Amino acid sequence: MDSIIITGATNGIGFECALRMAQIAKNEHIIIPARNIKAGKEVIEKIKDKTDHKNLTSLELDLASLQSIREFSEKLSREKKLSISILINNAGVQNIGETQYTADGFELTFGVNHLGAFALTMQLLPFIKNNGHITFTSSETHDPALKTPIEPPIYTSVQELAYPEETSEKQNIVGQRRYSTSKLCNIMTTYELQERLKHTNIRVNAYDPGLTPGTGLARTYTPVMRFLWKNVFPILILLKSNIHTPAQAGRNLANLAYSAKYKDLKGIYFSDGKEVKTSIDSYNKDFQKNLWNESLEITKTTFIE
């Protein structure tokens, strides 16, 4: 039985994606990694109740720990004839407060959103089916040309992003930039990985859920901003494009990964229901290669095609 893995599925977009996947992928084993295994098991039961899907599992995984990622991957690899049809790297954090760090000493936002997803993908890649699909959830905030409310990204190097120097800039500005930069890295990883897998049938795509009020992404915002995020921003769904409920964004993510309609999409960025161009920096080959090589080195992983 093929397996589908969805990170960040205990709430928000990830939960809605897993729910949709359980509705349309009845013959696959759906695995929901969770940092809090109790929360993971509760989600499994909730999805089973709603869909009657028989094959759902939750396994412990903390993307802020390379050791946890290795243990998760090793546990999966012990399964007989492990075959992964879909890997959805959806988990993400946005910290706009005081700088926090992962178990390995990486800045938290970059460590989880890019390095954690990268390490997990590299370790599971040998088990991805030849016609499998890998997706990275990114964000339109990666593109300065779109003039989003979030501070635009600045890519320097993996070392500088993982181990940032102290700065006198305001915490919220720094935090926003770290988030948008991590999302730029998700897209550059998508392009570089797809290029390295060009002799296979594996599809690698990046997904933009758009502005999605109501998710847990705003947990480090100020109380006023958290109130607006939860109670006011959802109204914008009726007024502007590329603003979605978590349910809409989750269904779109599941459909991109599973639907036959998109089976020929490879190495693209999917936003608001269509393939779109990404930022100028995202196509920078030097940035892509630097990100790739330094990410392999710092996560102590290898690329196995």
Domains of the chain (ranges; CATH) run 3-299 (3.40.50.720)
Cβ atoms of residues 99 and 16 within 8 Å: no
The predicted pLDDT at position 304 comes to: 84
What are the tens digits of pLDDT across the range 176-192? 999 999 999 999 999 99
What are the tens digits of pLDDT across the range 204-227? 999 999 876 555 554 555 554 444
Number of H helices, E strands in the chain: 10, 8
Instruction: Return the closest-CA partner of residue 176 out of 195, 149, 216.
Output: 149
Instruction: Return the closest-CA partner of residue 172 out of 92, 95, 224.
Output: 95
Q: Is the model's pTM score more than 0.85? A: yes
- The predicted model gives 143-164 an average pLDDT of 96
Candidate from 58-62, 199-203, 239-243 with smallest mean pLDDT: 239-243
H or E segment and range at residue 248:
helix 246-258
The predicted pLDDT at position 228 comes to: 43
* pLDDT at residue 273 tops 90: no
The predicted pLDDT at position 220 comes to: 52
The predicted pLDDT at position 272 comes to: 87
CB burial of 232-259 (b: ≥16 within 10 Å; e: otherwise) equals ebbeebeeeebbbbbbbbbbbbbbbbbe
What are the tens digits of pLDDT across the range 240-265? 555 668 899 999 999 999 999 999 99
The predicted pLDDT at position 233 comes to: 43
Q: Which amino acid is at 262?
A: Y
Provide φ and ψ at 120, rounded to 5°: -60, -45
What are the tens digits of pLDDT across the range 12-40? 999 999 999 999 999 999 999 999 999 99
The predicted pLDDT at position 161 comes to: 98
Candidate from 78-82, 88-92, 177-181 with smallest mean pLDDT: 78-82
CA atoms within 13 Å, Cβ hemisphere of 148 = 19
The predicted pLDDT at position 119 comes to: 98
Strands 29-34 and 56-60: parallel
Residue scoring higher pLDDT (289 or 237): 289
pLDDT band at 84 (very low <50, low <70, confident <90, very high): very high
- The predicted model gives 228-237 an average pLDDT of 44
User: What strands lie across the sheet with 84-89, from one edge to the other?
Assistant: 56-60, 29-34, 3-6, 84-89, 128-137, 203-208, 269-271, 274-276
What are the tens digits of pLDDT across the range 43-53? 999 999 999 99
* pLDDT at residue 91 tops 70: yes
